[in-house]
Structure 1
Amino acid sequence: MKPAAFLPALFLMTLAACQPVEETGAPAATADSEASETVEAPAMASAPVRLVEQWKAEGFNAPEGVAAAPGGGYFISNVAGNGNDKDGAGWVSKISETGEVLEAQFGPTTMNAPKGMVVDRGILYVADLDRIHLIDPDDGTLLKTMEIDGAEALNDMTAWNATLLASDSQGSKIWRISGDEAGIWLEDERLSGVNGLTADGDRLLVATMASGTLYEVNEAGDLTEIATGMENADGIGLIEGGYLVSSWPGQVWFVSENGEVSEVLNTQEQGILQNDLTVFGNTVIIPNWMPGTVTAWTVEEK
């Protein structure tokens, strides 16, 4: 699909304000969901790193999530409709390590609003509002669909401590999936608009949209704030010296290990959204819900 034309910044801001907070991911086409609060902007220091573009792939329809494909390349989720609607319009694409579209539609093409994904123990898991699809990552066969009773807007996913976790952006909670069972692992008012999840050893990194906070969480469910003020925070990536955090309306932040926040990238005026940022080795992959692209970056020190 040809990418949509860039939207004027004022129109994009109006659109976003009318949508539930994402990933859910971006504007109601988004999936990050539940109106965000107005938060105080983080104190701005000069970012010690910059992003250098490697490549940009086009032709997606509201791309939101990314996962590494076995054997190389990436899976990209396409919401394709409204990020909170059960419209059967979504699917997953498969691209190469250099951004070539290998399969525009990989696997089932009637998902509702697929967002976060993870490949774990030979299965591709796709979060889809109130259910999770289990797909063969080699040939796209749908193995099973799990209904998550009580889930409202499943968003990001990660594998951690031999189980799977999925954020629920409208429910302010994190679900744990183990085998055929799913239950609420963590529910906390501080998780309002919870979005990005990234496993890092014995801790889980969590980003929220409402307050724009990056937390670390231990197995007992204790939240420790790392940094805040990154409204509509979406994806999280670990890099040398700290973290990268995307805010879906169009920003990428650097967060130092001591919690200082600085802006690395801002594409709001161009109408380019920055969704589920994920780091794979030396490459940062970011789906752009609008204008329907996926961009790969390299992190460089200034």
Structure 2
Amino acid sequence: MRTLIIPSLAALVLAACGGPTPEETAEVAVVAEEAETAIPEARALELVWMASGFEQPEGAALAPDGSYFISNIGPGDSGALDGNGYVSKLKADGSLEAARFAEGLHAPTGMVVKDGVLYVADRDGVAMIDAATGASQGKVLIEGVQFLNDVTEWKGDILVSDSGTGAIHKVTPDGASPFASSADWAGINGILGDGDRLLITTMTDGKLIDMRGPGAETVIAAGMKDADGVGLVPGGGYLVSSWPGEIHHVSEDGVVSLMVDTKADGILQNDLSVFGNVVIVPNWEPGTVTAWKIVGQ
């Protein structure tokens, strides 16, 4: 049976718990908009916790021990090479494990863990961090990049997107090389390796793209302006965040339904990631991280 995630027509008002600094509980009201198409077997996102105390959080990655890494742009200008960026670590319940698990970054965004190494997109390259200790393992500088954004593993390679140039670079500990680029990738943001395909989101046209290789590219859906992170829904379909404050469901046949809209509340929905049936979304503003659970029949 194919799984779909479409909210009920009522607003989802759920208690949020956990939070690193200070430890507290909070409440958040999230309005789920009516799906454009009535789909049976409706599903929803249930808020599990919202953690606070971050500084421009943007990306999330699953740690080997089941906790979560959260990238923080840090205070000040997100484009500055100021060393103010850092990575926090949260336990699975949203409580703080380490406020500054790794430091000295400029403006860290997307992340992924491979073979015990946390790869972090930074302003001038990709930092490598020991995923167990937080110790630096160096940085691969990438010349000519404008805004390195998301990181994924695909077919054994580490890839990083550059939103400014519409390109993807391959990264190894020895250096970086161009992987792919396209005029259709204006504002490329999220990338996610999934078997034989690479999923790509773009901000300019709000596309979700299925790429199998050079010349083998299909647009799954479009119109999700400022699309950011993408995650796979267990059983089929996708979740796509739009950073100004939306979470969309995209069905296998490309039907887009708005699930969450927090724009009026000033809550951004940044680099969404799905780990099993848990959805982790950093909120650049107001400096929180939200955990959702995929529920329903």
State the TM-score, normalizing by the size of structure 1: 0.83
Provide the C-alpha distance between the structure 2 equivalents of 1:46 and 1:56, rounded to a whole number of angstroms.
30
Please state if 1:142 is matched with 2:136: yes
1:111 aligned to which of 105, 120, 132? 105
CA distance in 2, matches of 1:301, 1:45: 18
Specify which of 274, 282, 285 is matched with residue 279 of structure 1: 274
Q: Which of 258, 263, 274 is residue 253 of structure 2 equivalent to?
A: 258
Q: Give the match for residue 32 of structure 2.
A: none
Paired position in structure 2 for 1:90:
85
Deviation at 1:85?
2.2
The 1:85/1:223 distance shift into structure 2, 3 A limit, reads: farther
Residue pair 2:267, 2:286 contacting (<8 A) in 1 also:
yes
2: CA distance between counterparts of 1:132 and 1:71?
22
Q: Is 1:78 equivalent to 2:72 in the alignment?
A: yes
Map of 2:36 onto structure 1: 44
Partner residue, 2:163: 169
Partner of 1:59: 53
| Mapped partners of 2:56, 2:110: distance in 1 | 13
Identify the match of residue 148 of structure 2 among 147, 154, 159: 154
Q: What amino acid maps onto 1:94 in structure 2?
A: K
Kept in 1, the 8 Å contact 2:140–2:171? The answer is: no
* 3-state SS, counterpart of residue 186 of structure 1: strand
- My pick for the range that moved more, 179-188 or 91-100, is 179-188
Equivalents in 1 of 2:184, 2:78: separation in Å?
23
Distance 1:51 1:221 in 2: 36
Maintained 8 Å contact 1:230/1:247: yes
Larger Rg: 2
Decide whether the 8 Å contact of 1:46 with 1:263 is kept in 2: no
Preserved CA contact (<8 Å) 2:140 2:173: no
Count of equivalent residues: 261
Q: Tell me by how many angstroms 1:49 deviates.
A: 2.8
Letter paired with 2:159? L
Contact 2:141 2:175 in 1 (8 A): no
The letter for the 1-side match of 2:37 is A
Structure 2 matches for 1:228-267, cutoff 5 A?
228-239=222-233, 240-267=235-262
CA distance in structure 2 between the aligned counterparts of 1:295 and 1:179, rounded to whole angstroms: 32
Relative to structure 1, the CA distance from residue 196 to residue 153 in structure 2 (aligned partners, 3 Å threshold; closer, same or farther) is: same
Note the C-alpha offset of 1:177.
1.3
1:224 aligns with 2:218: yes
- Shift in CA distance, 138/258, structure 1 to aligned 2, threshold 3 Å: same
Q: Name the SS for the 2:171 alignment partner.
A: strand
Secondary structure of residue in 1 paired with 2:184: helix
Task: Give the secondary structure class of the aligned counterpart of 1:190.
Answer: helix
Are the aligned partners of 1:65 and 1:276 in contact in 2 as well (CA < 8 Å)? yes
User: What amino acid maps onto 1:227 in structure 2?
Assistant: A
In 2, Cα distance between equivalents of 1:166 and 1:270 = 31
Tell me the equivalent position of 2:293.
Answer: 298
Deviations 1:222-277 (A, max 9, x none): 32100000000000010033000000000000000000000000000000000010
Task: Return 5+ residue gaps in structure 1 as ranges.
Answer: 3-42
Match of 1:211 in 2: 205
Identity rate of aligned residues, in percent? Answer: 47
Q: Where does residue 194 of structure 2 map in the other structure?
A: 200
Displacement, 1:60? 0.4
Change (3 A) 1:221 1:148: farther
| Equivalent in the alignment of 1:21 | none
Distance in structure 1 (CA, Å) of the matches to 2:165 and 2:37 = 33
SS at match of 1:145: strand
**1:51-103 deviation per Cα after TM superposition (whole angstroms, max 9, x unaligned):** 10011111101100000111120000000233322222110000000101110
Q: CA deviation at 1:46?
A: 4.9
Task: Indicate the structure whose relative CO is greater, using CA pairs within 8 Å and at least 6 residues apart.
Answer: 1
Structure-2-length-normalised TM-score: 0.84
1:57–1:294 CA contact under 8 A, matched in 2: yes
Amino acid at match of 1:55: W
Could you tell me how far 1:221 is from its partner in structure 2? 5.4
Among candidates 281, 284, 288, match of residue 289 of structure 1? 284
| Counterpart residue type for residue 52 of structure 2 | E
